Amino acid sequence: MGEQQGIGTADDVERRIIVATQAGLPLVARPWDEVAASVGIGVDELLARVRSMLDRGVIRRIGAVPNHYAIGYTANGMSVWDIDDARVDAVGEFVGALDGVTHCYRRPRRLPEWPYNLFAMVHGRNRDAVERQIGDIEARIGERFPGACRARDLLFSSAILKKTGLRLGAPG
């Protein structure tokens, strides 16, 4: 047996799998079969390698990424929160697990202009729906973590930007 792959490393076959899937799985009845054929390996080997890459942290997750605009969610609100530093991790985990929150992360404050250290994205069919949802989140934070939230604001998107993660080139 050769050396075991370390965390964050991928061999040539795994790199081909990443390249073949990084823009999304094919929209066919058996997408893994099609990916395996394009990579030049059997589907059982492909699935075993994908599981191994997940276990080793080479890839973090496999998930659906719906186009929220196409399904009618056109109001995008980034809520920003000034949360007590001693409780920001717990509040972030709580907020990130709530229905309707698609992204939640901690960022450093930029005092004095920017006091916010927790960010949570919410999408809705209109601004009023997003504002109601953020108000509900604020109330839930207050119930679960009294006094942790010192201030908040809500920023709406003004343009649609194409978002992509890291893209690898074809091996060679």
Take residue 55 and report the two structure tokens written for it. 């276990």
Is 89 inside a domain boundary?
A: yes
For residue 99, what are the domain limits?
75-156
Residue reference for tokens 């698609």: 102
Residue 122 in any domain: the answer is yes
What does the alpha-carbon distance between residue 60 and residue 75 come to, in Å, rounded to a whole number? 28
Q: Looking at residue 1, what is its pLDDT?
A: 37
Indicate whether 3 belongs to any domain: no
Which segments of the chain have a pLDDT < 50?
1-7
- Give 125's contacts (C-beta < 8 A, 6+ positions apart): 72, 73, 74, 75
Domain count, the chain: 2
Instruction: Please tell me the predicted confidence (pLDDT) of residue 158.
Output: 82
147 and 101 in a common domain = yes
For residue 61, the model assigns a pLDDT of 85
- Are residue 82 and residue 126 in the same domain, yes or no? yes
52's torsion region: left (phi>0), alpha (psi -120 to 50) or beta? alpha
CATH value at residue 148: 3.30.70.920
Res 23: pLDDT: 85
Range 137-141, long-range pairs (CB < 8 A, 24+ positions):
137/79, 137/95, 137/98, 137/101, 140/94, 140/98, 141/81, 141/83, 141/91, 141/94, 141/95
Q: Is 146 exposed, middle or buried (0-12, 13-18, 19+ CB in 10 A)?
A: exposed
pLDDT on residue 8: 54
Please check whether residue 92 lies inside any domain of the structure: yes
Q: What digits encode the pLDDT tens for the residues 70-108?
A: 888 889 999 999 999 999 999 999 999 999 999 999 999
36 and 85 assigned to the same domain: no
63 falls within a domain: no
Q: Structure tokens of 153?
A: 């604001």
Given this model, what pLDDT does residue 159 score?
76
Same domain, 88 and 40: no
Give pTM, 2 decimals: 0.65
Phi and psi torsions of 111, nearest 5°: -70, 150
* CB burial string 27-60: b at 16+ within 10 A, e below: eeeeebebbbeebebeeeebeebbeebeebebbe
pLDDT at 165: 61
